[in-house]
Amino acid sequence: MEKELEELFNKDEEEKINWLISKVYNMSMEIRLIKDNHLEHLNKDIKYLHNKLYVVTGAVVAILTGQNLFL
């Protein structure tokens, strides 16, 4: 990165602007990837764990109260 910045200082204004635009575009694509893929998977995992938490809570309540809630 440091070498890239040193080379950038030797370029003219138009090349600097093009470099900056390419960096912003690449960051935008990476953010979109995170948003579309990784956050969606995390959301599914959280919903799965949430549903499992209800089952475990129901089992604990059933054991503590002696009632059979699952029939």
pLDDT in the model for residue 38: 79
Q: 11 is written with which tokens?
A: 């370029």
18-68 residue pLDDT tens: 999 999 999 999 998 888 887 788 888 999 999 999 889 988 888 888 876
> Cα dist. 26→30, 33, 34 in Å?
6, 11, 13
How much is the pLDDT for 50? 93
Predicted pLDDT of residue 10: 82
The pLDDT of residue 70 is above 60: no
pLDDT of residue 65: 86
Distance, in Å, from the CA atom of 43 to the CA atom of 47, rounded to the nearest integer, reads: 6
Q: Say how many CA atoms lie within 13 Å of 48 toward its Cβ.
A: 6
Give the pLDDT of residue 69.
Answer: 60
- CA-to-CA separations, 55 to 49, 64, 65, in angstroms, rounded: 10, 14, 15
In this structure, are residues 16 and 8 in contact, taking their beta carbons and an 8 Å threshold? yes
